[in-house]
Structure 1
Amino acid sequence: MRHITLLLLITCLSACSGQAVFPDPPPRAGSYQLDPPADAPLARITGRLTAAHRGLSGVYPVTSAQNALAVRLAAIRSARSSIDIQYFIFRRDETGLLLTRELIEAANRGVRIRFLLDDFTTGDADRVLALLDLHPNIQIRLFNPFPHKGPRALELLADFPRLHRRMHNKSLTADNRVSFIGGRNLSNQYFGIDKTITFGDLDLLAIGPVVSDISRQFDLYWNSRYSFPVSSVIDYRPTLAQQQDFVDELNSNAQQLLASDYGRSLERSPVIRTLSDDDGLWYWGKTLAVYDPPDKITLAPPEAGRYAERDLLWRINAAKQQLIIISPYVLPGPYYLGQLIAAAQRGVEVHILTASLSSSDMVLVHGAYRKYRKPLLEAGIHLYEMSNARKYKLDNWREGSRSLLHAKAFAVDKQTLYVGSLNLDPRSIYLNTELGLLIESPQLTGKVAENFIENIPHHAYRLELRNGSIYWHREDGEVLTRDPGASLLQRLGSRIGSWLPIEHLL
């Protein structure tokens, strides 16, 4: 959770967090995953692809922002039975409106749609959600909702112990046969459309047995006491004229976006056809859906951290040869800092990629990270900070957007790969709920490790500790003595962040 209002408020609230009290939802009917008809497109395609890989799941990494939207659209358009959507952020922008239109068209052909959204950043999307919920085949629920009675910041102040605990999970599952898991949210910034920011991110497209595990995870959250029907939270009852205006807005947005160079490229994307035809393009292995239970938001640290430790972090601690960590926020705390240093001391080659100050969307968080740089470098850990130079112009419809790191991935000993929503920070480990995939695949993990080592110099600064000072090495050989590319305001914000006693909430 990275929201500027939260960071300003928690400075005042960090010393006065009381016991959270969670309200009970109104009566709701339970619902669960659905299997599609045997002749449904996704059932036929995934059945053919998985036939020679019994008991294994297939994953395909989606790094391109444009392809990430193209494959989501294809999955929604192919669905015949159900679509389950679970996200932290959904915006009323070109991407959000296009996906909304596609969901309505799917619902019109009889597809059941369940959309579970964390309520921290609903913002101007609240009326979109209320309008969607009017469709008989679409159900919308909000996780751990705000009262929606007054200004959001004041509501957070009034009930901080409850409202700062969020669902950070991100998934989209079509017909219980195909799932998307990763770091991307549903807004322009994650699909190369935003005018100012493009988040560099990573999804895994998954098929096989793990998809049912992801669906069970969704059912657990959907039916939990923390998920409220949107109609019980947002008091908006649109008139028929307002509903028609909304339909007109959806159609106009789709026409404009799909007629653009970006949109035409979406429709021509070869990824869908190629992946549907060749199982050799997928990476196969035992795959685990790693997730926190929704009740985690009621637990206090360190008890709440046992879920991440159980399935993922113990593998990091047990690395024997190589450990690669990609996380936009690196706040390991004393325990995991000690584990990383211990790994380096026993001969593990440890690489960490995180955001530079100039490529961070949260400078106060970067301020808390500053103190970890020296001990990591002193231990011989390879530390890199992402440049904000935009490298993939074909992924961006808008010119001039700034590139920021948002992917979360852990590669262990060229054997095990995690991709999901978890950052290496206290908020992910102890406060929010998270979701990711853990795949045992030497082929995929080895390729990720190889590509990382080969390409990192072209996209990130390499940090060096020399005589007690930190130096940043650029690709062209230039050595810088302070955070490269950062503005005066960013430097000031980072310095302030290093002073505030709020790291346990970040």
Structure 2
Amino acid sequence: MEAALRQSPFLVLLLLCLWACSGPVTFPQPPERIASGQTKAPPDAPLVIVSDRLTRGHPGQTGVYPVTSAHNALAVRLAVIRAARSSIDIQYFIFRHDETGLLLTRELLRAAERGVRVRFLLDDFTTGDAGKLLLALQRHPNIQIRLFNPFPHRGPRTLELLADFRRLHRRMHNKSFTADGRVTFIGGRNLSNKYFGFDSKEHFGDLDLIAIGAVVPEITRQFDIYWNSHYSFPVQSVIHERLDPERQRQFSAELLRKAEKFLTSDYGRSLLKSPVIKTLSHNANLWYWGPAHALFDPPRKVAQPPGTEGGFAGSELMRRITGARRQLIIISPYLLPGEHYLQQLIAAAERGVEVYILTNSLASSDVIFVHGAYRKYRRPLLEAGVHLYELSSALKYKLDSWHGESRSLLHAKLFAVDGQWLYVGSFNLDQRSILLNTELGLMIKSPQLTEMVSKNLITNVHKNAYQLLLRNNRIVWRRSDGAELHREPDTNWLQRMGSRLSGWLPLESLL
């Protein structure tokens, strides 16, 4: 889960007390809603024509293409929205009222104007300043918005969280974006400037897979399950703010004006020139093909006691990971496997599996409590022979971020097993993903893609991350130039002390 629930030490301690002492969780009853499912796009829809042509030679398979560029990740979403003719289904944890959020809102409204049905399912934990955008979208008859596991929205967010912590700290972390039932985006990226390379302070290095073919109906099915679930509420039944017609008109006009202005910036103009969609739509050989399936938790996971068995996606994913025979690559911004999976990783390394792990350093982490809890895992992993790397915050992603001085943070979630299987999705290797939140990802068997990812990581990680080693029973950080550092790189004493002290707190089950 993102940083919002993890920042304040006083808040977290109070939440922990409430969590331990409160009674059984109770979920509110949603208002009466009309269930809906997938619509069929017409045969002459652009996305239908393109996907049919690309998949013709790959019956029963899924084609995927990895999008690592933050800029291209927004460009391809815009292109797909503009090409949609029947439906757009969006499911995310974060959606912000910022430049990229305004632009996406504008494009969704334009799609609705030409008759596209838009369904937008957003987790309610971080709606915050996006409330007006959501209400502006909801006013269009072709747009429906629902909030998952909503807050009351009647008082300060922190007080509402404290009052009903057992329910409200369980969140939908799934991320999907599907158009016309033919093209979908799966990965770790949320919808805000930080994830699209347009934030002056932070840049989240992330990964999406564009997918076509056999797996897309599975993604649309899981969307319908969540959309129609007991935990999804129409936005107008949750957010009680209402604008009078004149203020609504002014807000809508301002929204369009700001979006248009953004499109005239260098960044905005470059979005329209991105070659990714045009290139991919004409060449099936650029896609990676193979059998694939969607791994997703049922919505009811948020109502189950932590650790309950019940067909949850994390269990299947962890079985695949811990069953590696030759090589295992883990990229996870938060690394809190718990004692059970720690021992599984150690056992894999001890039986000869080459285990590579990339996670955030203290300098690149956005949550000091997570890093404090993670510290205790480093030594046993290194002693077992695991290749452990931490991202350097000095990496500026200059080719991808339009603010070259923004701090780099790792946000991608990827698991590669034995050069055969690759997982990309929302799942972090931490207790929150394993036990508390719902997650969604795509698992594909593609030796070509998995080997490419594996080779790229092993080749490039030395340039962009510190390798952790044991020297005289102490952890050192090796830079790409071979120099070895004896304390957390690029940090000050206050950060290091905060990480050390937070590691003593009994918070890991919430992180």
Normalised to the residue count of structure 2, the TM-score between the two structures is: 0.97
Residue 503 (structure 2) pairs with residue 498 (structure 1):
yes
Q: CA deviation at 1:392?
A: 2.6
Q: CA deviation at 1:400?
A: 1.4
> Deviation above 6 Å: which 4+ runs of structure 1?
none
Deviations 1:31-85 (A, max 9, x none): 0011200000000000000000000010000000000000000000000000000
Equivalent pair of 1:390/1:401 in contact (CA under 8 Å): no
Equivalent pair of 2:468/2:477 in contact (CA under 8 Å): yes
Matches within 5 A, 1:451-490: 451-490=456-495
Deviations 1:153-172 (A, max 9, x none): 00000000000000000010
Partner of 2:116: 111
Taking the aligned partners of 2:396 and 2:238, their CA distance within structure 1 comes to 42
Q: CA deviation at 1:131?
A: 1.5
Q: CA deviation at 1:6?
A: 4.5
Find the partner of 1:75 among 66, 77, 80: 80
- 3-state DSSP of counterpart to 2:107: helix
Give the counterpart letter for 2:137 in structure 1: L
Partner of 1:128: 133
Residue 385 (structure 2) pairs with residue 383 (structure 1):
no
Taking the aligned partners of 2:21 and 2:352, their CA distance within structure 1 comes to 43
Q: CA deviation at 1:327?
A: 0.1
Matches within 5 A, 1:58-457: 58-303=63-308, 307-457=312-462
Q: CA deviation at 1:458?
A: 0.5
Alignment gaps of 5+ in structure 1: none
Q: CA deviation at 1:17?
A: 4.3
Equivalent pair of 2:70/2:196 in contact (CA under 8 Å): yes
Larger mean Cα displacement after TM superposition, 12-21 or 152-161:
12-21
- Shift in CA distance, 12/304, structure 1 to aligned 2, threshold 3 Å: farther
Give the counterpart letter for 2:229 in structure 1: S
Q: CA deviation at 1:18?
A: 3.0
Deviations 1:405-440 (A, max 9, x none): 000000000000000000000000000000000000
Q: CA deviation at 1:4?
A: 4.2
Equivalent pair of 1:304/1:431 in contact (CA under 8 Å): no
Taking the aligned partners of 1:125 and 1:489, their CA distance within structure 2 comes to 33
Taking the aligned partners of 1:40 and 1:306, their CA distance within structure 2 comes to 36
Find the partner of 2:54 among 49, 56, 61: 49
Taking the aligned partners of 1:400 and 1:459, their CA distance within structure 2 comes to 16
Deviations 1:4-33 (A, max 9, x none): 454532322323243110011000000001
- 3-state DSSP of counterpart to 1:499: coil
Give the counterpart letter for 2:402 in structure 1: W
Deviations 1:277-330 (A, max 9, x none): 000000000011100000000111221585134421111111000000000000
Equivalent pair of 2:396/2:407 in contact (CA under 8 Å): no
- Shift in CA distance, 143/256, structure 1 to aligned 2, threshold 3 Å: same
Give the counterpart letter for 1:446 in structure 2: E
Partner of 2:27: 22
Deviations 1:80-134 (A, max 9, x none): 0000000000000001000000000000000000000000011111111112111
Equivalent pair of 2:477/2:484 in contact (CA under 8 Å): yes
- 3-state DSSP of counterpart to 2:178: strand
Taking the aligned partners of 1:3 and 1:321, their CA distance within structure 2 comes to 34
Give the counterpart letter for 1:2 in structure 2: E
Give the counterpart letter for 2:3 in structure 1: H
Taking the aligned partners of 1:418 and 1:231, their CA distance within structure 2 comes to 36
- 3-state DSSP of counterpart to 1:393: coil
Taking the aligned partners of 1:365 and 1:6, their CA distance within structure 2 comes to 8
Deviations 1:172-228 (A, max 9, x none): 000000000000000000000011000000000000011110000000000001000
Q: CA deviation at 1:256?
A: 2.2
Find the partner of 1:12 among 11, 14, 32: 14
Aligned residues between the structures: 506
Give the counterpart letter for 1:408 in structure 2: K
Taking the aligned partners of 1:90 and 1:159, their CA distance within structure 2 comes to 23
Deviations 1:446-465 (A, max 9, x none): 10001111100010000001
Give the counterpart letter for 1:364 in structure 2: F
Taking the aligned partners of 1:262 and 1:390, their CA distance within structure 2 comes to 21
- 3-state DSSP of counterpart to 1:120: helix
Residue 2 (structure 2) pairs with residue 2 (structure 1):
yes
Equivalent pair of 1:358/1:487 in contact (CA under 8 Å): no
Deviations 1:218-274 (A, max 9, x none): 000000010000000001222222222222222222222211221121111111100
Taking the aligned partners of 1:100 and 1:481, their CA distance within structure 2 comes to 48
Give the counterpart letter for 2:477 in structure 1: W
Taking the aligned partners of 1:229 and 1:356, their CA distance within structure 2 comes to 40
Taking the aligned partners of 2:415 and 2:86, their CA distance within structure 1 comes to 34
Equivalent pair of 2:297/2:311 in contact (CA under 8 Å): no
User: Over the residues paired in the alignment, what is the CA RMSD in angstroms?
Assistant: 1.2
Equivalent pair of 2:314/2:433 in contact (CA under 8 Å): no
